[in-house]
Amino acid sequence: MSVRVLIVDDQALFREALATLLEVQPGIEVVGEAADGEQAVRLCAELRPDVALMDLRMPVLDGIAATARLRAEQPGVRVLALTTFDDDEDVFAALRAGAVGYLLKDVSSTQLVEALVAAERGESVLQPSVAAKLVARVARLPAETPRAQPLMTPLSERELEVVRLLADGRSNREIAKALFLAEGTVKNLVTSVLSKLQVRDRTQAALRARELGLF
């Protein structure tokens, strides 16, 4: 079954090039294109894509506002930000609005396809540079910020290895390769980590682990 993708970008040439690239990838189906956030929200309601590949800086309705609309109105559509910019405010605003991941436009086609598949499964997808920004932001929190409550069930050594790699923006496949594990085993470990940390996604897991001083 293919991952149904809506491409959202105000540059027609980029949309066309990206559609051409993705349409030949196994397991990916481009169901439509939108030139701004308003059109993206409308097309998501009509086409029901699995993932909206969302630029952030667009006319009419920007990608961050469109992401928030989709999260409220069509929570079944995963939003994966794909943009030129990786400044802190764009990153945090997109994730706060509900994006499940954040990629830069210099990402490789292989990484992009893997990210789309992961996003469709509900996994958070962050480029290492973006993940590093999140961890660094938590590290800069004032010292008087109350420490998070300790975990009821501590993470195992293997789960600690997994959460540290999550914080680097690694996918399940990359974690499996790094730890010499089956990808299915990593998926189970990630599920356990999310449960123990009492968070809903990989980004929150990385932040929660950092708050707890686990890395």
- Three-class secondary structure of residue 102 per DSSP: strand
Indicate the fold that domain 3-126 takes in CATH: Rossmann fold (3.40.50)
pLDDT, mean of residues 153-180: 87
| pLDDT of 87 above 60 | yes
pLDDT at position 141:
54
**Sheet bearing 3-8, strands edge to edge:** 28-34, 3-8, 51-54, 78-83, 101-104, 125-126
Residue 146: pLDDT band with limits 50, 70, 90: very low
Question: Could you tell me how far CA 165 lies from the centroid of its own chain?
Answer: 15
100-111 confidence digits (pLDDT tens): 888 888 888 888
Q: What percent of the chain has pLDDT over 70?
A: 88
pLDDT, mean of residues 146-157: 71
Place of tokens 């990385």: 206
Integer Cα distance of 152 and 34 in angstroms: 46
Beta strands 51-54 and 3-8 are: parallel
Place of tokens 């996003």: 119
On average, the pLDDT of the chain sits at: 85
9-66 confidence digits (pLDDT tens): 999 999 999 999 999 899 999 999 999 999 999 999 999 999 999 999 898 999 999 9
pLDDT at position 168:
77
Beta strand segments in 51-151, E: 51-54, 78-83, 101-104, 125-126
pLDDT at position 38:
94
pLDDT at position 11:
93
Residue 135: pLDDT band with limits 50, 70, 90: low
Single out the residue of 76, 83, 114 nearest to residue 14, CA to CA: 83
Q: What angle do CA 127, 132, 136 make, to 5 degrees?
A: 155
Query: Domain coordinates of the chain in residue numbers?
Result: 3-126, 143-211
Integer Cα distance of 192 and 184 in angstroms: 13
Is 143-211 assigned to CATH 2.160.10.10?
no
168-193 confidence digits (pLDDT tens): 778 888 899 999 999 899 989 999 99
Report DSSP letters for 93-117, one per residue: HHHHHT-SEEEETT--HHHHHHHHH
pLDDT at position 149:
56
The answer to whether residues 18 and 41 touch, using CB atoms and an 8 Å cutoff, is no
pLDDT at position 8:
96
The answer to whether residues 72 and 93 touch, using CB atoms and an 8 Å cutoff, is no
Are 3-126 and 143-211 the same fold in CATH?
no
| pLDDT of 116 above 60 | yes
* DSSP for residue 66: H
